């Protein structure tokens, strides 16, 4: 690492990074013991003297690669990553750089010190076919934390199986993208070197200005204005492009901006925030398709909501026009297809439902019928590449919701079909079932006093108490693996 890198940033971050454990930067003390009561994205929590406290990670080994370069080791193997170069991952402690030991199992871990291959992978056809799926190390760590809170041996066995399946990695902030994109591209290359197989990694691109305009629980960091659109382009999409160009030897799938375009189909007139965001959704998609859709090892899928969002005839017809316009605006970039049911619970097949009053006369009351219908609509709208990836992470069992529009932390959840390519005979346009929303990560908080509280998370069939969106929800995870269909 070069000394010319400005340490002014390190000084500014020193107070945060030099904490003895992660919770001090969140204004909570460190625990004196190690009994885990709760786990979220920040770390493991205990309770002492009636107050939450953070459980520190075990100290890193006394030696690491950075010593040879004149820098100390970070005090924790899970230290926050502030910079990555050819040597490894760097943290900041006491106003100085420190090296994070290789072999860390933290959320930003991936492949360690990996030299990018000069080989160019080119996707031809279904990107999920003929490849091995990348195992997300952050999710493995989350499940390990969940297992630590279990005592039922049969439940533990089911949770252990969850660690063997692939799911998507969400790049939901600029910081998370900086921490997780390159490290997991490196991890995929390492997995390739170990298995000798091509490794597919799936990322969710999710940081549009004015994100999730019709919901509160998952609003993003960037606002619907010109300045934040410029940040989205330069600090987010351009950085993603740079890393994807560097790590070009393995296939990558990008799930693009869930809920955004579906909101443009149905919510422009009813939701002022969506009207305010329209310009930025359209410009953001055009920019990312132009930048990322020309990379031969990358396949992109635009989100199309779910059966009880765009399933009605008039919505599907309007969607065809919106999506055709968006794809055209990104030329010469290519879009492989579309993804449905992301973070939702709609069953793949539900023979108990039909077009009638119970479904508000929706002709597509499950995801299978939805894709069958919308594939025809999109082709009629002039869209040339119409393929689908269906999120099956939480639709294995029909949930308890009383209205199909209920979307937040639904009770009765069950993990669904396992990730697999070409899963349904006779549906050659269905590229894959895949776990896009990781089971166990909350849809949104049930705390009515929280700034991001959404009323849907307080409804009768929403499990409570629930943490903020993206944080670990132990009870929901346990119910999901108990109700898995097929069983784990």
Active-site amino acid positions: 212, 259, 443
With tokens 């410029």, the residue in question is: 230
In angstroms, the CA 368 to CA 427 distance is 10
In angstroms, the CA 323 to CA 85 distance is 38
Helix (H) / strand (E) containing 194 = helix 174-195
In angstroms, the CA 374 to CA 356 distance is 19
CA dihedral 322, 325, 329, 334 (to 10 degrees): 90
Residue 337 in contact with residue 374, Cβ under 8 Å?
no
In angstroms, the CA 250 to CA 44 distance is 33
With tokens 């990695």, the residue in question is: 169
Structure tokens of 375? 């594939």
Q: Find all residues with CB under 8 Å of 263, minimum gap 6, and list them.
A: 212, 213, 214, 271, 274, 277, 281
In angstroms, the CA 466 to CA 473 distance is 7
Q: Find all residues with CB under 8 Å of 459, minimum gap 6, and list them.
A: 406, 408
Residue 97 in contact with residue 90, Cβ under 8 Å?
yes
Q: Where are the beta strands (DSSP E) in 60-164?
A: 83-84, 89-93, 96-99, 132-133
Residue 172 in contact with residue 470, Cβ under 8 Å?
yes
With tokens 């953070």, the residue in question is: 54
Structure tokens of 464? 């409570």
Residue 85 in contact with residue 183, Cβ under 8 Å?
no
Q: Find all residues with CB under 8 Å of 26, minimum gap 6, and list them.
A: 42, 54
| Selection from 392, 388, 376 nearest residue 429 by Cα | 388
In angstroms, the CA 74 to CA 101 distance is 7
In angstroms, the CA 399 to CA 366 distance is 13
Q: How many residues does the chain have?
A: 488
**Which letter does DSSP use for residue 352 in this model?**
T
Residue 332: C-alpha distances to residues 233, 290, 336 (Å): 17, 6, 13
| Selection from 65, 22, 61 nearest residue 45 by Cα | 22
Residue 135 in contact with residue 197, Cβ under 8 Å?
no
């Amino acid at each position: 690492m070069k000394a010319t890198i400005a340490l002014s940033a390190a000084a500014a971050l020193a107070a945060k990074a030099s904490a003895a454990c992660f919770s001090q930067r969140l204004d909570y003390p460190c625990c004196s013991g190690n009994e885990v009561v709760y786990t979220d994205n920040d770390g493991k929590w205990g309770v002492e003297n009636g107050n939450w406290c953070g459980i520190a990670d075990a100290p890193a080994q006394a030696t690491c690669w950075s010593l040879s370069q004149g820098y100390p080791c970070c005090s924790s193997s899970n230290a926050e990553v502030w910079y990555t170069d050819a040597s490894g991952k760097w943290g900041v402690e006491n106003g100085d750089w420190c090296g994070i030991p290789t072999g860390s199992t933290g959320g930003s871990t991936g492949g360690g010190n990996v030299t990018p291959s000069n080989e160019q992978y080119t996707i031809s056809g279904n990107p999920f076919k003929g490849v091995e799926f990348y195992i997300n190390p952050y999710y493995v760590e989350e499940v390990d934390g969940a297992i630590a809170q279990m005592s039922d041996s049969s439940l533990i066995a089911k949770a252990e199986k969850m660690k063997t399946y692939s799911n998507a990695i969400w790049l939901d902030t600029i910081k998370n993208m900086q921490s997780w994109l390159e490290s997991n591209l490196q991890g995929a290359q390492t997995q390739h070197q170990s298995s000798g197989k091509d490794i597919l990694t799936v990322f969710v691109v999710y940081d549009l200005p004015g994100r999730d305009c019709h919901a509160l629980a998952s609003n993003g960091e960037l606002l619907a204005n010109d300045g934040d659109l410029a940040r989205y382009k330069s600090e987010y999409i351009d950085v993603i492009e740079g890393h994807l160009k560097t790590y070009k030897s393995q296939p990558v799938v990008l799930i693009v901006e869930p809920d955004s375009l579906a909101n443009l189909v149905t919510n422009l007139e009813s939701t002022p925030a969506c009207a305010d965001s329209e310009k930025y959704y359209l410009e953001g998609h055009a920019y990312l398709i132009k930048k990322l859709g020309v990379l031969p090892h990358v396949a992109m899928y635009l989100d199309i909501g779910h059966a009880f969002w765009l399933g009605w005839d008039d919505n599907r017809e309007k969607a065809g026009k919106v999506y055709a316009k968006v794809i055209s605006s990104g030329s010469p970039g290519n879009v492989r297809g579309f993804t449905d049911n992301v973070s939702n619970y709609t069953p793949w097949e539900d023979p108990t439902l039909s077009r009638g009053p119970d479904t508000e006369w929706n002709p597509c009351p499950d995801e299978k019928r939805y894709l069958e219908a919308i594939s025809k609509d999109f082709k009629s709208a002039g869209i040339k590449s119409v393929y689908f990836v269906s999120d099956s992470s939480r639709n294995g069992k029909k949930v308890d919701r009383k209205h199909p529009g209920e979307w937040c932390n639904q009770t009765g959840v069950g993990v669904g079909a396992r990730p697999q390519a070409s899963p349904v005979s006779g549906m050659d346009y269905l590229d894959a079932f895949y776990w896009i929303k990781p089971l166990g990560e909350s849809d949104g908080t049930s705390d009515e006093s929280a700034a991001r509280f959404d009323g849907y998370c307080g409804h009768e069939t929403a499990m409570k108490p629930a943490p903020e969106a993206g944080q670990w929800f132990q009870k929901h995870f346990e119910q999901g693996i108990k109700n898995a269909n097929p069983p784990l």
